[in-house]
Structure 1
């Protein structure tokens, strides 16, 4: 009888161990941060009713976006997104600082919102409904019988 000896080299064991550790490490979540929100100590430097748009920009920096209606306010937004393997990325935290101004450009209010304060807003497109979706060609054609009025023909005088 021939005895088979299975000898695994230590280098092969190390290679298999390294491959297993790389596979486990590839499944760890990856976090990405987007945007900028000034820290609370910088926001404390802004005085409501005293500071203006230019002094706010000098103190905490330019906003990531501003109001649509005639520069109504400054908005600073930051998000933290978790990517985990092949799954869809998930927003785990979001913070928004809204600084509103009065008509003279003086700070009126400073508000801070988190992800828990948000509401889901469904955006829908405005689409004109067609009245012919349930009618076939013949029904549309025959439906016009009796609706003919010679006065509606252009160029015909009454």
Structure 2
């Protein structure tokens, strides 16, 4: 009787443990922030120093974004974003850095997702119809007269 109780206690204790994760660009040791000198650094020097950007616009290659975030997840609670940093390197037509902008979690905005559903044509099945809808149906029979060749 003791073993199941100890096992249950151990499992319930692990559910309370929080998990911290880091996503995106990770600042290397010795770096405090991502920075470049406007008018001096170029795309090549930024690429050599920081690697590929996290994302860049599809049509124009005039801004490179390096993004990172630290999150904390605890049991069944919603994941909490502890910190976020986005650094934007702006380039001119010659590929020289013109501006560097830093954004943090405080600069972000919450976006409410639309929960509407696009209707499609066809029959809407209930849960029970979906559950037993395929029971008893056999795969399509092969017509012996069709043959496989000329």
Smaller-chain TM-score bracket: 0.5 to 0.7
Is the counterpart of residue 96 in structure 1 residue 86 in structure 2? Answer: yes
Contact 2:68 2:85 in 1 (8 A): yes
What secondary structure is seen at the aligned counterpart in 2 of 1:65? coil
Gaps of 5+ in 2: 115-150
Residue 64 (structure 2) aligns with: 74
Give 1:13 deviation, angstroms. 4.7
What secondary structure is seen at the aligned counterpart in 2 of 1:43? coil
Is the counterpart of residue 23 in structure 1 residue 31 in structure 2? Answer: no
Give 1:79 deviation, angstroms. 1.6
Residue 43 (structure 1) aligns with: 34
Contact 2:71 2:81 in 1 (8 A): yes
1:91-120 CA distances to partner (integer Å, 9 max, x unpaired)?
222111111111211001111111111123
Give 1:18 deviation, angstroms. 5.2
Asked which structure has the greater CA Rg, the reply is 1
TM-score by length of 2: 0.62
Contact 1:37 1:96 in 2 (8 A): no
**1:1-158 to 2 correspondences below 5 Å:** 13=2, 16-17=5-6, 19-38=8-27, 40-41=31-32, 43-44=34-35, 46-121=36-111
1:17-47 CA distances to partner (integer Å, 9 max, x unpaired)?
4542331122121122210154654634x32
Aligned length: 112
The 1:37–1:109 alpha-carbon spacing in structure 2 relative to 1, beyond 3 Å, is farther
Gaps of 5+ in 1: 1-11, 125-158
TM-score by length of 1: 0.59
- Once residues 23 and 99 of structure 1 are traced to their aligned partners in structure 2, the CA distance between those partners, rounded to angstroms, is 46
Query: Higher helix share goes to which structure?
Result: 1
